[in-house]
């Protein structure tokens, strides 16, 4: 799982979406504190 700042996530949003589709996960931080976790959906 990769950690990104909110600013990095904003700048790389399209790339993040592509990587999520490949199964990667991310934690987004603001001022060094985790604020959310992005994970690909579970496939049924």
Does the pLDDT at position 2 exceed 70? yes
Looking at the 3D structure of the chain, how many domains does it have?
1
Residue 30 domain-assigned (yes or no): yes
Which residues of the chain form beta strands (DSSP E)? 2-5, 26-30, 33-38
Residue 15 domain-assigned (yes or no): yes
Q: What is the CATH number of the domain that holds 14?
A: 3.40.1620
Q: Which residues contact residue 20 at a Cβ distance below 8 angstroms, ignoring those fewer than 6 apart?
A: 26, 38, 39, 40
- What pLDDT, in 10s, does the model give residues 3-38? 999 999 999 999 999 999 999 999 999 999 999 999
Does the pLDDT at position 43 exceed 80? no
pLDDT band of residue 44 (cuts 50, 70, 90) is low
Host domain of residue 19: 2-38
The pTM of the full predicted model, rounded to 2 decimals, is 0.82
């Amino acid at each position: 799982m990769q950690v990104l700042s909110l600013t990095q996530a904003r700048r790389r949003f399209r790339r993040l979406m592509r990587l999520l589709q490949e199964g990667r996960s991310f934690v987004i931080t603001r001022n060094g504190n985790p604020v959310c976790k992005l994970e690909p959906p579970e496939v049924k």
